[in-house]
A = this chain, B = another copy of it.
């Protein structure tokens, strides 16, 4: 069921079938219809591998995600979903590649076997080997996230630094003077995970600007960790009245710790954060947060990648999102504890 078979049955040359399909050269209406009929009868579809071989492109993009073992955050899920969606809309297929740890081979295959025309890279570290590898391979790529030298790559990212700073300012405006930042896991931050570092930078900056007392805590990405982390914070820092966080996954645990400590939100304690809108809205109570526009960012990443594939020499572009904070009722006037 190859192009030769179609050509034979339609009584034309293989090249004519090809031209009839791609329209790259004129084919008489009559011939085209004859070919089309045969194609539909046999339900023929060109072999992707053969086409890729000849054309030098695969019409596929790679999406490099954090290792599958770790549960993805709601935000990451949002990115994956919209990237897949946007790619499908552009008639591109998406090859999923878990990276990190034991899955190094998968990444290598994708990058170096010319299986994809370009790559979207998620969860980028400040210093990231994968970025280096991609750069030297010459494969077009777009980051969702950025390294510490973001000028010479194309990316979209969430401006955690500004957003956490705004959260702190918002809390300070409400009278809070003792605020904790609940970050992502210690390993992730230690590994140079960008959002973790930038959130911390924004936190430190805002705390200094408003002359506050700030506490920084890392917390693994699950509810249980959120619970014990906040339990510990409350015990060790009785002066705390508010939390700012970028750790979506731990939030339900934080809520639980506060409830168990007899602290009502937002009456006794305030929380503000950066999260996927979908998650923030569905929490109980709904979280006051900067809603990351995953749909727009994911779609833009695909768009930028398509441009980059079309013209690899074009200048790098960047998109830094700093959505406004949606007040949903987990922040209120400060009220001293104990």
Residues on A facing B (Cβ under 8 Å):
43, 45-50, 52-53, 58, 60, 63, 65, 68-69, 71-72, 77, 81-82, 84-85, 88-89, 91, 93-98, 102-103, 105-106, 108-110, 112-115, 222-224, 252-253, 255-256, 278, 281-284
A82 partner, pick from B68, B110, B256, beta carbons under 8 A? B68
Also in contact, A48 and B113, with CB within 8 A (given A68-B88, A96-B84): yes
Q: Are B45 and A113 in contact (CB under 8 A)?
A: yes
Bound together, the chains give a CA A108 to CA B88 distance in angstroms of 12
Closest to A46 in B: B113
Q: In the complex the two chains form, is B97's CB within 8 Å of A115's CB?
A: no
- Chain B residues lying within 8 Å of A96, measured Cβ to Cβ, are 63, 84, 93-96
Complexed CA–CA distance, A82 and B81 (Å): 17
Q: Is the CB of B77 within 8 A of A103?
A: no
Q: Is A91 within 8 A of B68, CB to CB?
A: no
Establish whether residues A48 and B114, one from each chain, have CB atoms under 8 Å apart when the complex forms: yes
Instruction: Report the Cα distance A113→B252, complex, angstroms.
Output: 45
Instruction: Say how far A120's CB is from chain B's closest CB, in angstroms.
Output: 12
Q: Are A47 and B114 in contact (CB under 8 A)?
A: yes
10 closest Cβ pairs, A-B complex: A49-B52, A223-B282, A68-B85, A48-B113, A68-B81, A45-B112, A49-B53, A48-B115, A88-B106, A94-B96
